[in-house]
Amino acid sequence: MPKRKLQSLSLREKLKLISVYESGKTREEVCAEFNVPKSTLCRIIQSKHKIESQCSERQGKIKRVRLSKYPELEQCLLTWVKQLRNINFPVSGPMIKEKAQDLARRLDIHNFCSSNGWMEGFKKRNGIVLKTNCGESNAVDVNKCSQWIEDLPLILRNYSADDIFNADEAGLFYKCLPDKTFTLKGESCHGGKLSKERITVLLGANMSGTEKLPILLIGKSKFPRCFKGVKTLPVNYQNNNKAWMTSVIFSDWLNNLNQKMKAQKRKILMFVDNCTAHNNMPDLSHIKLVYLPANTTSKLQPMNQGIINNFKLYYRKEVVRHVIKSIEDNQCPQIDVLQAMRFARKAWFSVTETTIANCFKKCGFKSELTVAESLQEEDENFGIDLEDWNLAISNDNNQQPTFQDFINVDDGLIVSGELNEGDIVHAFSSSSLENEEEDDEKSAEVNLVKISKREAVKALETLHSYFEMSSIGDQSIFDKIYNIEKHLMADSSKRQTKMTDFYN
- Is the pLDDT confidence value at 429 over 70? no
Give the mean model confidence (pLDDT) for residues 444-455: 69
Same domain assignment for residues 224 and 325: yes
- Is the pLDDT confidence value at 483 over 90? no
pLDDT at position 357, please? Answer: 95
Same domain assignment for residues 329 and 204: yes
Please give the residue range of the domain that contains residue 482: 451-504
H/E element holding 28? helix 27-34
**132-182 per-position pLDDT tens digit:** 443 333 444 556 788 888 888 888 988 999 999 999 999 998 988 887 766
Q: Is residue 175 part of a domain?
A: yes
Name the residue with higher pLDDT: 113 or 386: 113
Which sign does the torsion angle of CA 247, 253, 255, 261 carry?
A: negative
Gap between the Cα atoms of 171 and 168, Å rounded: 10
- Please provide the average confidence, as pLDDT, over all residues in the chain: 78
Gap between the Cα atoms of 247 and 79, Å rounded: 9
pLDDT at position 355, please? Answer: 94
- Is the pLDDT confidence value at 436 over 70? no
Same domain assignment for residues 318 and 211: yes
Same domain assignment for residues 236 and 162: yes
**340-375 per-position pLDDT tens digit:** 999 999 999 999 999 999 999 999 997 544 443 433
Same domain assignment for residues 227 and 320: yes
Give the mean model confidence (pLDDT) for residues 313-333: 88
What residues are paired with 169 via a beta bridge?
A: 202
- Is the pLDDT confidence value at 102 over 80? yes
pLDDT at position 376, please? Answer: 40
Terminal-residue alpha carbon distance, the chain:
67
- Is the pLDDT confidence value at 469 over 80? yes
Gap between the Cα atoms of 271 and 364, Å rounded: 13
Give the mean model confidence (pLDDT) for residues 427-446: 50
pLDDT at position 370, please? Answer: 42
Could you count the other beta carbons within 10 Å of the beta carbon of residue 447?
12
φ, ψ of residue 344 to 5 degrees: the values are -65, -45
Measuring CA to CA, which residue among 54, 93, 153 is closest to residue 365?
153
pLDDT band of 208, cuts 50, 70, 90: very high
pLDDT at position 442, please? Answer: 47
- Is the pLDDT confidence value at 504 over 50? no
Measuring CA to CA, which residue among 347, 321, 381 is closest to residue 177?
321
Give the mean model confidence (pLDDT) for residues 274-288: 86
DSSP letter string over 60-118?
A: TT-SS-PPPS-HHHHHHHHHHHHHHHHTT----HHHHHHHHHHHHHHTT--S----HHH
Q: Is residue 62 part of a domain?
A: no
pLDDT band of 211, cuts 50, 70, 90: very high
The pTM is what? Answer: 0.65
- Is the pLDDT confidence value at 72 over 80? yes
Helices (H), 87-130: 93-106, 116-126
Gap between the Cα atoms of 338 and 79, Å rounded: 28
pLDDT at position 185, please? Answer: 58
**83-100 per-position pLDDT tens digit:** 776 555 667 778 888 888
pLDDT at position 430, please? Answer: 57
Q: Is residue 250 part of a domain?
A: no
Same domain assignment for residues 78 and 51: no
Name the residue with higher pLDDT: 209 or 186: 209
pLDDT at position 136, please? Answer: 36
Name the residue with higher pLDDT: 444 or 154: 154
Structurally, how many domains does the chain consist of? Answer: 4
**157-171 per-position pLDDT tens digit:** 889 999 999 999 999
Same domain assignment for residues 43 and 79: no
H/E element holding 171? strand 164-173
Gap between the Cα atoms of 414 and 87, Å rounded: 17
- Is the pLDDT confidence value at 60 over 60? no
- Is the pLDDT confidence value at 202 over 90? yes
Quick one: what percent of the chain has pLDDT higher than 70?
A: 72
- CATH number of the domain encompassing residue 102: 1.10.10.60
Same domain assignment for residues 46 and 103: no
Same domain assignment for residues 86 and 228: no
Q: Is residue 285 part of a domain?
A: no
Q: Is residue 419 part of a domain?
A: no
- Is the pLDDT confidence value at 445 over 60? no
- HSE-up of residue 294 (Cα within 13 Å, Cβ side): 8
Q: Is residue 442 part of a domain?
A: no
pLDDT at position 1, please? Answer: 46
The CA distances from residue 474 to 149, 380, 457, 478, 485, in Å, are 42, 21, 22, 9, 19
- The whole-angstrom distance between residue 179's C-alpha and the CA centroid of its chain comes to 30
pLDDT at position 194, please? Answer: 56
pLDDT at position 52, please? Answer: 64
pLDDT at position 20, please? Answer: 85
Q: Is residue 324 part of a domain?
A: yes
Helices (H), 109-231: 116-126, 145-156, 181-184
pLDDT at position 89, please? Answer: 64
- Is the pLDDT confidence value at 391 over 70? yes
pLDDT at position 4, please? Answer: 55
pLDDT at position 65, please? Answer: 53
